[in-house]
């Protein structure tokens, strides 16, 4: 199993040593470890060295960390000098702040350009901003994943046409979620699994702290919706993640 999106940081986990050990025992092969700002980028790089070839670094500036945008040059230096698996998590978030849309778009586009320059995929965060996200990705072509996808079936198809994968996590297991309609209608080849740990813990553990081994429950739900054996779900999504992030 590969968790294509988690935040394994000292801020959230007291004992990353034990966590990594537990994950390996539970057949997690890799975790794409996403930063949200410059300091976290340094930390995920540090952790990737400590847990060699297991916590794979994804670095960038999240739209909620827009005040960090002057550090973009330093982010580029990190990309130049380290093995990075994607630029992320980057994107647009109009949920909390709506009066800086142009600033958010500019930072998003600048980071997509970094991904293009260094031939990396992007890990895209989009909340209450799906149309603007789509318009930007259509204009600035790069490969990547729409993390924690939560849009319509139609929009899912449009992203897939552009070559994007959809990151599917714990939300799929929530009773009130309509995400199953998307899963029903798209091919499994377009999906990668993610937890967004420590957030969005899937059922049956909703409410507790999340960790990357819980992608098993996301795979299980996909297997039920699509009528595909869970081992097949894990095999196909793992293969897709390996190709997308060039692991």
Q: Which stretches of the chain bind Zn ion, using CB under 5 A?
A: 196
What Å distances lie between residue 178 and 38, 151, 183, 189, CA to CA?
Answer: 35, 9, 9, 20
Nearer Cβ to Zn ion (94/223): 94
User: Among residues 78 and 170, whose Cβ is nearest to Zn ion?
Assistant: 170
- The minimum distance between CB 231 and Zn ion, in angstroms, equals 27
Please state, in angstroms and rounded to a whole number, the distance separating the CA atoms of residues 240 and 238. 5
For residues 145 and 186, which CB has a smaller minimum distance to Zn ion in the complex? Answer: 145
Q: Shortest gap between Cβ of 6 and Zn ion (angstroms)?
A: 8
Whole-number Å distance between alpha carbons of 32 and 20: 13
Residue closest to Zn ion (Cβ): 196
- Minimum CB separation of residue 147 from Zn ion in Å reads 6
Q: Shortest approach of Zn ion to residue 89 CB, angstroms?
A: 5
Strand order of the sheet with strand 191-193?
Answer: 2-6, 30-34, 55-59, 86-93, 122-127, 144-146, 165-168, 191-193
Other CB atoms within a 10 A radius of the CB of residue 224 amount to: 14
Give min distance, CB of 37 to Zn ion, in A: 12
Which CB atom, from 43 or from 196, has the smaller least distance to Zn ion?
196
Dihedral sign computed on CA atoms, order 118, 47, 145, 237: positive
Alpha carbons 124 and 102: distance in angstroms, whole number = 17
Nearer to Zn ion (CB atom), residue 40 or residue 196: 196
**Between residues 3 and 196, which has the closer beta carbon with respect to Zn ion?**
196
Least distance from Zn ion to the Cβ atom of residue 12, Å: 11
* Full DSSP string of 191-244: EEE---BTS-PPTTSTTSPP-GGGHHHHHHHHHHHHT--HHHHHHHHHHHHHHH
């Amino acid at each position: 199993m590969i968790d294509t999106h988690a935040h394994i940081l000292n801020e959230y986990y007291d004992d990353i040593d034990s966590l990594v050990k537990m994950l390996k025992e539970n057949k997690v092969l890799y975790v794409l470890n996403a930063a949200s700002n410059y300091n976290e980028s340094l930390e995920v790089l540090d952790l990737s060295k400590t847990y060699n070839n297991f916590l794979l670094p994804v670095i960038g500036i999240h739209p909620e960390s827009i005040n960090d945008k002057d550090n973009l040059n330093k982010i580029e230096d990190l990309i130049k000098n380290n093995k990075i698996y994607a630029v992320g998590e980057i994107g647009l978030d109009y949920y909390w702040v709506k009066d800086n849309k142009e600033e958010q778009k500019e930072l998003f586009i600048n980071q997509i350009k970094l991904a293009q320059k260094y031939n990396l995929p992007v890990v895209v965060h989009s909340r209450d901003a799906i149309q603007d996200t789509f318009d930007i990705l259509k204009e600035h072509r790069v490969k990547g994943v729409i993390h924690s996808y939560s849009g319509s079936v139609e929009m899912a198809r449009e992203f897939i046409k552009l070559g994007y994968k959809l990151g599917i996590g714990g939300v799929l297991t929530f009773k009130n979620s309509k995400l199953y309609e998307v899963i029903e209608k798209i091919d499994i080849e377009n999906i990668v699994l993610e937890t967004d740990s420590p957030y969005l813990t899937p059922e049956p553990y909703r409410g507790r702290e999340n960790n990357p081994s819980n992608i098993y429950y996301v795979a299980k739900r996909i297997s039920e919706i699509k009528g595909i054996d869970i081992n097949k779900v894990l095999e196909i999504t793992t293969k897709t993640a390996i190709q997308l992030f060039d692991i």
